[in-house]
Amino acid sequence: MPFFRNISGKDGEIRISSLGVLVGTFKTWNLTRRPDDGPGAGLYDLFAVFSYFNPHMWEEEDYEKVITVRLGKDEFIVAQDHDSFGTAVDGRRSIRIEGVTLKNA
């Protein structure tokens, strides 16, 4: 994927793939590229608004969550680059994940 400053879409989800469980779906999402001269240079920050979210499954630490976003016909996996970046969930409304990378699903 080319390096864009902002990328937005309307389709994405969080799943526990090993169980086939849907944790949440995105109504809208936005990726903003971090500055090239600060922490996490070249990474993105994800902000997404939920259309559905199960906080109990999100808090389940025993299972890996896979976050995907779709842009046109392409699907990308969103992964946090390092544990030092933050993740914040605002109730059942939204999620913000700092310092993420994208790879083809």
Domain boundaries, the chain: 6-104
Q: What are phi and psi of 56, to 5 degrees?
A: -65, -40
Q: Quickly list H helices, 1-105.
A: 55-59
* C-beta separation of 47 from 30 below 8 A: yes
pLDDT tens digits along 35-48: 878 778 889 999 99
Higher pLDDT, 73 or 2: 73
Chain centroid to Cα 59, Å, comes to 15
* C-beta separation of 100 from 79 below 8 A: yes
Give dist(CA 31, CA 83) in Å, integer. Answer: 18
Predicted confidence band of residue 84 (pLDDT cuts 50, 70, 90) = confident
Q: Is the pLDDT of residue 1 over 80?
A: no
Mean pLDDT value across the chain: 92
pTM (2 d.p.): 0.89
Q: Is the pLDDT of residue 3 over 70?
A: no
With CA atoms as reference, report the closest residue to 79 among 53, 57, 105, 55.
105
pLDDT tens digits along 9-28: 999 999 999 999 999 999 99
Q: Is the pLDDT of residue 2 over 60?
A: no
Tokens of 39: 């922490």
Give dist(CA 48, CA 50) in Å, integer. Answer: 6
Tell me the mean pLDDT in the region 83-95.
91
